[in-house]
Amino acid sequence: MATLRDIKQRIKGVKSTQQITKAMKMVAAAKLRRATEAILNARPYARKIQTLLSHLASNDDLMNNPLFISRDVKNVAVVVVTADRGLCGAFNTNIIREATRYIQEELQEKNISHSLFCLGKKGSDYFSKRNYNVVQKNPGIFTSLNYSIAQRLSDQLISGFLNAEFDKVILIFNEFKSIIQQKIVVEQFLPIPVESNEKSESHAEANYIYEPNQKAIFEYLIPKHLKAQLWRVLLESNAAEFAARMTAMDNATTNAKELIRTLNLKYNKERQAAITKEILEIVSGANALKAS
């Protein structure tokens, strides 16, 4: 049975933990505001450039670009985006579980080999210790996230696709929906998917004038589009991570508060029982002396 000193020490330890989780929640909330602003600013550009590229791709002559051509899939590059740190609930676990499911069910069962690109320390650590073909690890990228990371990785993926090192590139990441909701997305990066928009037919009939020409603009936009989409993915994951960490720390703070209340109740009961026992001992001793 725990003594009063043990219960008091445990209450003190839980209070210290509560202060830490509360501070981490506030830090995550501050970082989440900046991350949310960044992703909300990046989304319109990424969507618009994708729409523009799909509109230009309506020209059959331009669809001969090798980055749009699908081929027999023998090797798939899987880009898994996780966080660098834990304490963010099931954020990393869900991504790793989905990536594992995709590799096993969509690739290994169909005898398709894979090349794994891990962004974030948690994913790098997990897949490196298991039987996966990890060709590149990128731990610590979210410590100082910047656009050059998306540029470098995009160039590597484009080069590998054009050199037939892999025939398809898949991105697996957490998309930011709200503070309490993140959505796991499995998205094709290469070959570039073209939007199937019924409204695009009416826009395609418009008489646009391109300078210098449609093909030059198309080829200029392709690398910008790929870098913008990859940068959007990194920003989505970054915002989703802070939201998950904020929620997890809020739950931990609430649980600590409830545990402190329970421990205080237990402490008071034990203290009352000890006092009652002491009173009984004193009364019993006094009665014994009176009887003698």
Please give the Cα distance from 141 to 165 (Å, whole number). Answer: 24
Please give the Cα distance from 214 to 71 (Å, whole number). Answer: 25
Cβ pair 103, 154 in contact under 8 A: no
Burial class (CB in 10 A: 0-12, 13-18, 19+), 5: exposed
Amino acid making up residue 42: A
List CB contacts of 254: < 8 A, sequence separation 6 or more: none
Catalytic residue among 57, 77, 88, 234: 88
β-sheet with 181-190: strand ranges across: 134-138, 113-119, 75-81, 168-178, 181-190
Q: Is 88 a catalytic residue?
A: yes
Please give the Cα distance from 92 to 101 (Å, whole number). Answer: 14
Tell me the catalytic residues: 88
